[in-house]
Structures are given as C-alpha cells and as structure tokens.
C-alpha cells in the first residue's frame, strides 16, 4: 500500500487528498471532544479528555507516511505541482475547504452575541476548539458528500480490449 | 445540464482508448477523466489542451458550450 509502483502521480495525489480528508474528520472529532469537555462534566468529561489526544495521534499516523512519500516525490522530481493537483479530487477538496471556512466563520458570528452573556463562564479555549471543530468537520463532510456523488465509475468498454495504443 | 459539453468518449472510442489509459497519458487520474466525460467536472485549460493535443484536434472539437 505504501509503495505502489503502478500508481501514477495523479492517482497518488487523489489518494493523498482522500487520506487528508479522513485525517481532517478525525481532527474535527478531536477538537470537538476538547470543546465538549468544557461543557459536560463528570465521567463523560474524563472520557472526552482521554480520547482527544489519541485521535490527534491517529490523524497524524494516517497522513504522515503519505506526506513523507509526497515530499520524497517532490524532492526527486523538483516539481511542486502538476496535473494531479488540478484534477477532480483536488477541485472538490478546494470546494470543501471553502465550505469549511464559511461554516467556521458563520459559527463564530452566531456565537458572538452569546459570548458576553450566556457563555461568559466558558474559557476562550472552548470557542477556539469549537470553531476549529466546525470548520474541519464541515470540510470533511463536504468532501465525503461530494466525493460520494462522483464515485460511480463509468463502465469503460474500451478498457484493455485492444490495448491502450491508438 | 453540464456547464461544458464534450466528445471525449467519442474520441476515445475512435482511438480504442480506455479512460485509465487516457488518464495516464494526460497525467490525471481516471476519476478526473470519467467526471469530465459525464459533465460533472469542468477541466482546467491545461488538461483540456492536453486532451485535444493527444487526439490531434482543436480543443473546440472536443469541448463546447451547451446550446
């Protein structure tokens, strides 16, 4: 899985972006756990605090091997971008990032009126963690929804029949 | 209705070329080619020009705005 010689650069970039989206969704859970731990109490709070850090570690483990391989590819080729970064997956990743940013911003605007009254007891850390959780969560959900819509690979009747050569 | 009509499938059929093979030639993933074909994804200018160059036709023979 780590070393796939048949994989093209474009396929690798697609796989890398899918991995990042998965890691982003886990990071959203991690930040969400951190934010919730300021609201709930007792045993649930302890569980959330225990779960938070391993989730961050899991996200790093998911991305790190492919990130290292990506860096090796970039150093070897001397290129920082190619067609692989302008494909369909890169497009929906960019769109999802925009959705995530918008959701995070709207969330902060929505919270602002409450910050001085109802939520005044909560530490600033809560607002930062909650906003990041909403931003990353929206990015990940948006990516998976858009990617699911495009997952129906078309039947390719020319594939491998007469060979690839024209 | 898609934002950009295309005839990639027609040209692939003429050249007996699979989506995967065309994707490898152009330097994109197979998913990118399949989503361009069904009109879900509007390709970058560079990808459109590379596809046209591969088939040896002007880019407007493959891509056109819907009527």
- Are the C-beta atoms of A154 and B37 separated by less than 8 Å? yes
- Are the C-beta atoms of B8 and B33 separated by less than 8 Å? yes
Give a yes or no: residue A157 inside a domain: no
Cβ distance B41 to A88 less than 8 Å, yes or no, reads yes
Name the least confident of A31-35, A42-46, A149-153, B12-16. Answer: A149-153
Give a yes or no: residue A86 inside a domain: yes
pLDDT digits (tens, 9 = 90+) for A66-75: 889 888 877 8
Asked whether the predicted pLDDT for residue A166 surpasses 50, the reply is no
| Neighboring chain B residues of A162 at a CB cutoff of 8 Å | 16
Give a yes or no: residue A95 inside a domain: yes
How crowded is residue A134: how many other Cβ atoms within 10 Å of its Cβ?
Answer: 23
What's the confidence (pLDDT) of residue A156?
66
pLDDT digits (tens, 9 = 90+) for B39-59: 999 999 999 999 999 999 999
Give a yes or no: residue A163 inside a domain: no
Contacts of B64 (CB under 8 A, 6+ apart): B4, B5, B6
- Per the structure, the complete domain to which residue A53 belongs is given by 9-149
B29: nearest Cα among A164, A83, A139: A83
Asked whether the predicted pLDDT for residue A32 surpasses 90, the reply is yes
What's the confidence (pLDDT) of residue A157?
58
Residue of chain B minimizing CA distance to A154: B34
| Neighboring chain A residues of B12 at a CB cutoff of 8 Å | 158
Burial of residue A57, with CB atoms counted within 10 A of its CB: 0-12 exposed, 13-18 middle, 19 or more buried: exposed
What is the Cα–Cα distance from B66 to A18, expressed in whole angstroms?
32
Residue of chain A minimizing CA distance to B26: A83
Give a yes or no: residue A13 inside a domain: yes
What is the Cα–Cα distance from B37 to B42, expressed in whole angstroms?
9
Q: What is the pTM of this model?
A: 0.80
Asked whether the predicted pLDDT for residue A38 surpasses 50, the reply is yes
Asked whether the predicted pLDDT for residue A54 surpasses 90, the reply is yes
What's the confidence (pLDDT) of residue A37?
92
Give a yes or no: residue A28 inside a domain: yes
Q: How far is B39 from chain A (nearest CA, A)?
A: 11
Ranked by mean pLDDT, the top range of A77-81, A100-104, B28-32, B38-42 is: A100-104
A144: nearest Cα among A87, A85, A65, A89: A89
Higher-pLDDT residue of A153, A105 = A105
- Are the C-beta atoms of A27 and A63 separated by less than 8 Å? no
Q: Number of structural domains, chain A?
A: 1
What's the confidence (pLDDT) of residue A154?
54
Query: pLDDT-derived band of residue A116, with 50, 70 and 90 as boundaries?
Result: confident
What's the confidence (pLDDT) of residue A150?
54
Higher-pLDDT residue of A164, B45 = B45
| DSSP calls for B18-36 | -HHHHHHHHTS-HHHHHHH
Give a yes or no: residue A73 inside a domain: yes
**What is the set of domains in chain B, with CATH numbers?**
5-64 (1.10.260.40)
Give a yes or no: residue A88 inside a domain: yes
What's the confidence (pLDDT) of residue A149?
61
Decide if A156 touches B, using CB distance below 8 A: yes
């Amino acid at each position: 899985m780590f070393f796939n010689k048949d994989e093209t650069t474009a396929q690798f970039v697609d796989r890398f972006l899918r991995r990042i989206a998965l890691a982003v969704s886990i990071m959203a859970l991690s930040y969400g756990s951190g934010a919730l731990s300021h609201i709930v109490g007792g045993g649930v709070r302890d569980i959330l605090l225990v779960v938070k850090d391993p989730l961050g570690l899991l996200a790093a483990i998911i991305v790190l091997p492919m990130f290292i391989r990506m860096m090796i590819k970039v150093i070897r080729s001397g290129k920082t971008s190619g067609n692989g970064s302008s494909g369909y997956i890169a497009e929906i990743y960019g769109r999802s990032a925009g959705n995530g940013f918008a959701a995070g911003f709207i969330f902060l605007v929505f919270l602002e009126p409450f910050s001085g009254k109802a939520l005044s007891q909560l530490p600033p850390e809560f607002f930062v963690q909650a906003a990041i959780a909403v931003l990353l969560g929206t990015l990940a959900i948006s990516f998976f929804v858009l990617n699911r819509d495009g997952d129906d690979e078309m039947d390719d009747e020319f594939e491998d029949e007469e060979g690839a050569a024209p | 209705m898609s934002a950009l009509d295309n005839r990639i499938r027609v040209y692939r059929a003429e050249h007996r070329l699979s989506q995967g093979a065309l994707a490898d030639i152009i330097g994109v993933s197979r998913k990118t080619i399949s989503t361009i074909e069904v009109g879900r994804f509007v390709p970058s200018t560079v990808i459109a020009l590379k596809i046209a160059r591969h088939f040896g036709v002007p880019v407007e023979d493959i891509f056109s705005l819907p009527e």
